[in-house]
Structure 1
Amino acid sequence: MFDRLEGFSVDLSLLAKEFPIHSDHPSPSMPVLKKNAESPKDVPTKKKRVQLPDTNVISLNLGHLGGWIGKCELATGDPELCKRCNAALSMNPNIVQIDNERYWQCLFCLENNELHLEEEEFPQTDQIEYLEKATPSLSENATDDAIVVFCIDTSGSMIVTSPISNKDFKDLRKIQHEQPSIGTGDSTSQYLPNEEKGVKYISRLEAVQQAIEVQLIGLQQEHPDRKVALVTFASDVTIYGDGTTHPIVIAGDRLSNPEELENLNQWWGTDIPQPTKEELDEEQKVRLANAKTKQEIMAILNEAPAKKQPAEDKKVDFKLESIVKSRLALSTKLFSLAEEGQTALGPALLISCAIAAQKPGSKIVLCTDGVANVGVGSMENKENIEAAKDFYNAIAKKALSNNTTISLMGFKGSESNIEVLGSMSTHTGGQVDVVEPSTVQKNFQRIFADDTIAMDVKVSFFMGTGIHFSNKYSAKEWEVEQKSKSDKTVSFELLQKSIGSVNSDSNLLLEFDALNVPASMKEVPFQVQLFYTRIEDGKRLLRVITRHIPISLNDKEIEENADIEIVGLNSIRSVAEIAQAGNYTYSRLRNYANLQFMKKLVAASKDKEEASEVLKNFVLHSVKFEDKIYREQLRELHKGNPWDETEKDEQVSVNEGSGGFFSFFSSPSPSPSSGSGGGFLSSLFSFVTPSNASMRAEEPTTNQQQTRGTRTDDVSNLLWQMKGANMI
C-alpha cells in the first residue's frame, strides 16, 4: 500500500494530437510517480525543512475551446452518464453481463449502468463533445455586440503628472485629432531649474483618455456593432452611457444603497423626473446657489429624495447605441472629463456591472489611482476592509454569473488596495496591472487583445480512487465532493468550479496527491467534463476528456518526462497563493525549493536546451518574487508587524547571514553585477533580520493565518499576476 503519488505534470490538453490516443497501452511519455510512505516529501536542510514542489499537476488549456484548433468529434445523441456519480462513458469501457443484460462499469464509483448503446456507438477517442443546445441570441456574431464599460477614476489625484518623451507626446497628439491637446496652456514648454529638456508631462487622466480613444477608434473599425459605455467616479458617479444622452449624476446617500445603484432604469431616460430645487433643504439650497458647474448642480439636485411614481411609468429601458453611431459623442464626453473630488469606486463599479450584465461576454475596464472612500465598498478605514472584501467578492460573483470580465489598472506611485480589488479580475478572467501613465495604452491593448472564445464555462474533475486535490490555498475556489459506491468500498473526489468567460490564454492548473492508492493499481483514471457556450456559433456543449495515466516508481523516468513548463508554472502560482495567505517566509522557502527542483528537472531533461530556456525565465520570476516579498516583510517589520506569527515550537533562529540562496543563481541567472547592481543577488535571498526575528520551519496550518497590514499595490499586483500567469 502506498500513501503518495508523486511525479508528473499531466497536460489534459484539449488538442488531441498533443497526446497520443491510448487505450490498453498508455503512452510511456506520461508517467505518474508513486513513492513509498517512507520516502519523505520534505527536503531536509541545515535548519529547516520545506516541501518540494509537486509534479502531479493537471493542466487544462481552456484556450482550445474556441476556433478550429480545439474542435473534436461531435457525438450524436446524449452522453451516457453514470447513474450514481455522473461520470461519462468513455472509450473501451468495461462491459459486464448480469442476468443476460449488458452493463458498463463506471471508472470511478464502479457502479454498473444499463447500456443503451451498440458497440459501434461507443466513444472512439479519449475526448468527445456533445451538443446540449444552441443559444439563439448568440447564434450569429456572438460577441460583436457585447458591451465594453470604461469605469474611470476622475478624483483629484488623477491630475498627478508623469514625464513622457517628446516622441510619445507627439504620438498621443496624433491620436487626439481634433480633441483638446494634452498639457494645455504654456505649462508644457516651461521647465523647472535643472529639469530635463525635451520631456513633456502627462496626467494620469490624460493618459487614460488617450488610451480609451485609441480603443474607441479600433472598436469602431473592427467591431462596429460593439457597444461602449462610460462611467466616471469622483465624489459622485456620472453615467455617460454611450455619450448620446444627457449624463446622470448620482451622489449623496444614494451612493450607499446597492439595490438602488443596480437599478439602471431608475436613473435613465427623460421620462424619469429629476429632483427639483423645491425639494432641497436650506443647506442644500445654499450649496446650489454657490455651485459653479453643471456637474456640481446635478450632484446637489440628486441628493433630494427621488419622486415616487406609478410602477407602470417608472422604468425606462437603459439602451446603448453601437460604437459606430456613438463614437464621436462618446469621445466628446471623454475629453470633457476633469479631475476633482474623492473616490466613489464601489458605487461606480456596481453600476458598471449592471450595464455589462445586459450582454453576456462583456468587459469592464476599471482605472483608478486611489482607495475607495465614498459610498459602498469604501476602504478608507481599517474597520471597513472586511466589509469591503465581501462587497467586491459579491461583485465578482455577479460578474462571473453574467460572464463579465473585470480588468483592473492602477498607477505606480499610488495605492488603490489592489490586494482587495485584484480578486475580482482573477475570478472573472480579467487582467490586473499597475502601470506608468506612459504605458497605459499598451496595457489597454493587452486587455483587448484576446476576445472571449467561450462563456458560462463550468468544469468537473473526476479523480480516481486514492487521488486527492492537494492545493489547500486554492481549495476555496473549488467545490470538493466525496463520492462513493453504495457499499462505501470505493471512494473518489469530484471537483467542480464555475469559470465564466475564457479567452485563448485561459488555463487551469490542478495539483493532486494520493493517499491509500491500492498497490495493484497500474494506472489512474481522470475525467474532465467541460460545459461551455462556444462564442462563434452560440452552441452549448459538453466536452468529455478521459485519460488513464500510468503509475511509475522510477524517479529517473519521472524527471526525464516531466513537463518542466507546467511544473514551473504551477510553482509560480503556488508561491503566490501562499504569500497571498500572508505566509511570507514559507512562500520564500517554497520559492527556493522550487528553484532547486526546477534545476534538477533541467539536468534530467531530454531536451536540455528548451528546458534551460524555461528555467531562465523561471529564475526571473523567482528573483522578482523574492525581492518584493523580502522588502514587504521589512516594510511591515518597520511598521511594527511581526516577521511571522508562529508557534514557539515552529520557530528557529535566523542568523545564517546573506548569500544562502546566491549559489543557486551562479547559472543560468544573471551575474551579480548585472541588473540592479553589485550586491543585488547576494543579498536578495538572505534571511538577515533582527536577532529576535524568526521564520517558519514548517508549512503553517490553516488556523495560523497571518494577520498583516494592507500590502502595497506593487506587491499585490505581482502576486495577482503570478497567480493568473498562463506561461513562463
Structure 2
Amino acid sequence: MDFGSKYVYAYNCSSEEDLSDSGDESNVLNIASTQPFAEAAPLSLTHAVASGGAGDIVKVEEKHDSSNKSDTRRKTKQKRRLRKADTNVLSVQFNHLLKPTEMHAGDIIRCEECSVIASHLSKIKPATGETAEPLWECEFCRHHNSTDIEQSDLPKQEDVTYLVEPAPVVHGADMTGLDNSIVIFVIDISGSMSSTTSVSGTFRMPNAHKQQQRAAENFGGEQMIRDRHQSYVTRLQGVQMAVDANLDTLIKEHPTRRAALLTFNHELTYYGDGTREPLVIRGDKLDSKEDIILEAEEECKNELKPILETKQRLVERVYDLEEGGQTALGPAVVFALHLASKRRGSKIVICTDGLANRGIGNLEAANDEKSEGNVKKAAIDQGNEFYGSITDVARDKGVSISVVTMKGTTCFIPLIGQMADGSGGQVTIVDLTNIRDEFASILKQQVIASNVSATLIVHRGLYIRNPANSEIKLNKSERDIGNVTKDTEVTF
C-alpha cells in the first residue's frame, strides 16, 4: 500500500467545496451591478441543499431588490459539492501479488469485533489466573480476543500471505504447468466495417486484389487506388492485419496458448482454431441466451489445439472474412464468454465499430434520439443489466474482456465498456494506424488473480469517507475487484 503522505491532513473547516456548473468560481453568487457597493440594495438568499455527499447539487436562489428596475433580477444557479484535493488517499497496487512475501504457516487470527487480522505489531498476553486463555487486545478497536496462540506464532513481517485454501488452477495452466489459456478474437464484420480510411504508404495482403475490388465497387476505390502514395484500407482489413501480426507474437511468446475466431454481423460464425468447419448461429437463436449457451456448450467438447499448430489455418480464415449485415454483439459476447470461462486466465478481444442492434443486448433504442424518454431509459437499463451480468460472469470465471473500437464510431462505450472495466480488460479507441500496437498491448495484459476483493480497516482515530454520503464515516471499506493484472490499482 502507498499513502499520499506520511501525515493525515486534518481540516479545520469543511473538507468539501462547491463547484459551479457555469465554471464561475470566483463569484459563485454572481452579484453584478453597475452601482457602487455602498448603494447596492439588500440581498436575500434562499438555499436549497440536497443531502450531503460527493456530487450533491446545491441550488442557490438569489433575489435582488433595487430602485433601479434594470438591475433587478432573479437567478438560480447549480453547484456541485465536491471533496477538496488532499493527500488523504491510499493506493493499492496489485503487482505486489507477483512479489515474494512471507507465507505464514499459522491460522488467521481475526478480531471478533472489527475483523482486523493480528499482525507483527500485535501483543499476546499470556493466560493468567484471571484468564483461562491468552488474550489479544485489538490495536484498532481495543476489543479483547481470546486466542490459543502465543506471541511467537504471530507473523514477523508487515506483509504476509496466508494460505486460506489451495488455489485453483489459474492462467489456463494444466498439470504440466503449460499455459493453455484461450484468446478469442471476436470480430465485427457488419456493413460498417467496410468503411475506408486513408493511410500513408502501401499495404500487401494475401487477398488484396479481392479486397480492393470490393472497395472499388462500394466506395469508389478505383480512384483511390490510383494514388501511388496512399492506400485506402477498410476497417476490417486493419483488424485482419492486426490479428495476423499478433498471432505471430503469440507463437513466439506463448506457443501453447489456444486462439479462436468468432465473427458477428446478423449471425454468429464460430471458426474455433480454424481446423474445423465453422458453426453458424442465426435467426431466433440470437434472441435467446439459453440457446446460445447450449451451442457454446457443444463447442466446448471440441478441444482447441495450440496456436503453434493452428496459426496458418486461422490466418486464412481471418483474411477470408467479408463485411455485411447488422451487429449481433450481445450474442457474440455470451457465446465467447461461455467458451473462455472453461479456462481461467483466458481473454476475449472484441473489435467492433457499431452499435449492437441484433439479438440480445440490443442497444438501438438506447441510442435512438427519436425514442421517447421512458423507452430510451428502459433500453439503457436493460443494456446495463445485460452487460453488467456479462461482467459478473467474467469476474467470477477469471476471464478478461477487452473492447477495441474505432475513432468516430458509435458503440455506446459507457454500456459495453463496463465489461472491460469490471473484468481486468481494456477499452481502447483506435485508428487503423495504431490498431496493431493496441492489440499487442491487450494481449500482454495477463490476469494474475481472479475473484479479488480488498478490505481496508482503519484505526478508531481515523475514518473512511463514504463515497455515497460524506456525512457517514466508516471504519471499514470493502471493494469487490474481480480480475486483476499487474497494472491494476485501486484507491481508498
Pick the aligned partner of 1:253 from 284, 296, 312: 284
Pick the aligned partner of 1:460 from 451, 455, 465: 455
Match of 2:108 in 1: 79
Deviation at 1:340, TM superposition (A): 0.6
SS of 1:64's partner is helix
Given the alignment of the two structures, is residue 375 of structure 1 paired with residue 366 of structure 2, yes or no? no
Q: In 2, distance between residues paired with 1:192 and 1:219?
A: 34
Quote the sequence identity (%). Answer: 31
SS of 1:472's partner is coil
Match of 2:212 in 1: 184
Q: In 1, distance between residues paired with 2:308 and 2:428?
A: 29
Given the alignment of the two structures, is residue 500 of structure 1 paired with residue 482 of structure 2, yes or no? yes
Match of 1:630 in 2: none
SS of 2:90's partner is strand
Pick the aligned partner of 2:88 from 24, 32, 56: 56
Pick the aligned partner of 1:319 from 300, 303, 313: 303
Which amino acid counterpart does residue 498 of structure 1 have in structure 2? D
Q: In 1, distance between residues paired with 2:199 and 2:490?
A: 39
Q: In 2, distance between residues paired with 1:76 and 1:260?
A: 47
1:91-132: per-residue Cα shift (whole Å, max 9, x none)? 221445661442111233432222333323322222111223
Pick the aligned partner of 2:315 from 331, 346, 368: 331
Pick the aligned partner of 1:162 from 197, 200, 207: 197
Q: In 2, distance between residues paired with 1:248 and 1:229?
A: 12
Asked if structure 2 preserves the Cα contact closer than 8 Å seen for 1:466 and 1:492, the reply is no
Asked if structure 2 preserves the Cα contact closer than 8 Å seen for 1:95 and 1:104, the reply is yes
Asked if structure 2 preserves the Cα contact closer than 8 Å seen for 1:367 and 1:408, the reply is yes
Asked if structure 1 preserves the Cα contact closer than 8 Å seen for 2:401 and 2:424, the reply is yes
Given the alignment of the two structures, is residue 45 of structure 1 paired with residue 26 of structure 2, yes or no? yes
Deviation at 1:502, TM superposition (A): 1.7
Match of 1:660 in 2: none
Pick the aligned partner of 2:245 from 208, 214, 225: 214
Runs of 4 or more off by more than 6 Å in structure 1? none
Structure-2 change in CA distance of 1:407 and 1:192 (3 Å): closer
Match of 2:369 in 1: none
SS of 1:191's partner is helix
Aligned pairs for 1:356-367 within 5 A:
356-367=340-351
Q: TM-score, normalised by structure 1?
A: 0.53
Match of 1:238 in 2: 269
Q: In 1, distance between residues paired with 2:209 and 2:96?
A: 44
1:218-257: per-residue Cα shift (whole Å, max 9, x none)? 1122211111111111001111111111111111111111
SS of 2:475's partner is strand
Asked if structure 2 preserves the Cα contact closer than 8 Å seen for 1:191 and 1:197, the reply is no
Structure-2 change in CA distance of 1:266 and 1:81 (3 Å): closer
Pick the aligned partner of 2:162 from 130, 147, 155: 130
Deviation at 1:137, TM superposition (A): 3.6
Q: In 1, distance between residues paired with 2:168 and 2:420?
A: 29
Given the alignment of the two structures, is residue 394 of structure 1 paired with residue 389 of structure 2, yes or no? yes
Deviation at 1:406, TM superposition (A): 0.8
Match of 2:435 in 1: 440
SS of 1:74's partner is strand
Q: In 1, distance between residues paired with 2:277 and 2:208?
A: 21
Given the alignment of the two structures, is residue 91 of structure 1 paired with residue 120 of structure 2, yes or no? yes
Give 1 or 2: higher helix fraction.
1
Match of 2:143 in 1: 111
Given the alignment of the two structures, is residue 153 of structure 1 paired with residue 188 of structure 2, yes or no? yes
Given the alignment of the two structures, is residue 65 of structure 1 paired with residue 97 of structure 2, yes or no? yes
SS of 1:132's partner is coil
Given the alignment of the two structures, is residue 11 of structure 1 paired with residue 2 of structure 2, yes or no? yes
Given the alignment of the two structures, is residue 413 of structure 1 paired with residue 408 of structure 2, yes or no? yes
1:672-712: per-residue Cα shift (whole Å, max 9, x none)? xxxxxxxxxxxxxxxxxxxxxxxxxxxxxxxxxxxxxxxxx
Consecutive unaligned residues in structure 2, runs of 5 or more: 19-24, 30-78, 367-374
Match of 1:284 in 2: none
Which amino acid counterpart does residue 372 of structure 1 have in structure 2? A
Q: In 2, distance between residues paired with 1:318 and 1:264?
A: 12
SS of 1:444's partner is helix
Aligned pairs for 1:28-39 within 5 A:
30-36=6-12, 38=13
Which amino acid counterpart does residue 183 of structure 2 have in structure 1? V
Deviation at 1:55, TM superposition (A): 2.4
Q: In 1, distance between residues paired with 2:428 and 2:228?
A: 30
Which amino acid counterpart does residue 30 of structure 1 have in structure 2? K
Deviation at 1:206, TM superposition (A): 0.6
Which amino acid counterpart does residue 345 of structure 2 have in structure 1? G
Which amino acid counterpart does residue 500 of structure 1 have in structure 2? G
Which amino acid counterpart does residue 440 of structure 2 have in structure 1? Q
Structure-2 change in CA distance of 1:42 and 1:240 (3 Å): same
Q: In 2, distance between residues paired with 1:40 and 1:473?
A: 15
Match of 1:144 in 2: 179
Deviation at 1:470, TM superposition (A): 2.8
Asked if structure 1 preserves the Cα contact closer than 8 Å seen for 2:140 and 2:458, the reply is yes
Q: TM-score, normalised by structure 2?
A: 0.77
Deviation at 1:157, TM superposition (A): 0.5
1:609-658: per-residue Cα shift (whole Å, max 9, x none)? xxxxxxxxxxxxxxxxxxxxxxxxxxxxxxxxxxxxxxxxxxxxxxxxxx
Q: In 1, distance between residues paired with 2:143 and 2:447?
A: 38
Structure-2 change in CA distance of 1:468 and 1:245 (3 Å): farther
Deviation at 1:473, TM superposition (A): 6.3
Match of 1:262 in 2: 293
The alignment's C-alpha RMSD in Å is 2.9
SS of 2:478's partner is strand
SS of 1:158's partner is helix
Structure-2 change in CA distance of 1:444 and 1:40 (3 Å): closer
Deviation at 1:505, TM superposition (A): 1.1
Deviation at 1:472, TM superposition (A): 2.4
Which amino acid counterpart does residue 119 of structure 2 have in structure 1? S
Asked if structure 2 preserves the Cα contact closer than 8 Å seen for 1:182 and 1:202, the reply is no
Structure-2 change in CA distance of 1:40 and 1:327 (3 Å): closer
Asked if structure 2 preserves the Cα contact closer than 8 Å seen for 1:450 and 1:503, the reply is yes
SS of 2:121's partner is coil
Q: Give aligned pairs, total.
A: 413
**Structure with larger RCO (C-alpha < 8 A, sep 6+):** 1
SS of 2:134's partner is strand
**Range 434-443 or range 497-506, more displaced:** 497-506
